[in-house]
Amino acid sequence: MYGMIPVEYRVQNFKVYFNGYHIPNTESIGFEDLAGGYDRYGNYFFLIPMIIMNTIDFEECLKDSPAYRNQLRQAANHIDLLEDRLEQMFKMCNSVINNGKIFVQEFQKFLKCIFDVRELFSTDEIAYKSLGKFGNYLREIQTLFSNLLEQTSHSLLRTLTRMLKDDIRKVKDQGKLFERLSSDYDIALQKNADASKTKRK
């Protein structure tokens, strides 16, 4: 519609922005299209379901406060969710590549059939050239599709594999290390507290 002002929701650095203005304290927002793509003022808006992770406060981290522990749990849940979705993405990407390879093989057979048919029209210049041109166009498409599969395998699939096997694992290992050190620290504090009580007696 002419003259409408676009309303934009976007996500940047795990923060939600509405028309360029940051929406603070946002953990999870789902935008529902209740007006068929337009709000009550006639403004068009597009919808992006999103999950937002709050930034961990370093000062709260030093205090090891309940707020920090809550932020840490939220971050751990976010990592678990990210891992789950990356695994789904990896599986689907792998499936697309495998099915794409089968498609390329069948497509090559189809191309061979076209050129086999062309040989039967060697005395018909128009049909012979037309089938040849058609086959060559399809061969270019097949080459581009094969290159796409190869690039997807080498870039996206490898990146997803590295993220799942290396990056996510390192983050989880650090989380386990923190839990162990935090537990040891709590035990040490308790022992010191008990020792102080014994001395007072």
Instruction: Report, as an integer, the average pLDDT of 122-133.
Output: 93
Q: Give pLDDT, residue 52.
A: 53
Sequence spans of domains, the chain: 1-52, 55-200
The answer to whether residue 79 scores a pLDDT higher than 60 is yes
Q: Which residues contact 93 (CB under 8 A, 6 or more apart)?
A: 152, 156, 157, 160
Q: How confident is the model at residue 26 (pLDDT cuts 50, 70, 90)?
A: very low
Q: Assign a CATH topology to domain 55-200.
A: Substrate Binding Domain Of Dnak; Chain:A; Domain 2 (1.20.1270)
Asked whether the beta carbons of 100 and 163 are under 8 A apart, the reply is no
**pLDDT score for 17:** 53
> 4-18, 69-83, 85-99, 117-131 — which one is most confidently predicted on average?
117-131
**Summary mean pLDDT of the chain:** 75
Question: How much is the pLDDT for 165?
Answer: 86
In angstroms, the CA 181 to CA 90 distance is: 33
Angle at 108 between CA 102 and CA 109, to 5 degrees: 95
φ/ψ of 160, rounded to 5, equals -65, -40
For 134-147, what is each residue's pLDDT tens digit?
A: 999 999 999 999 99
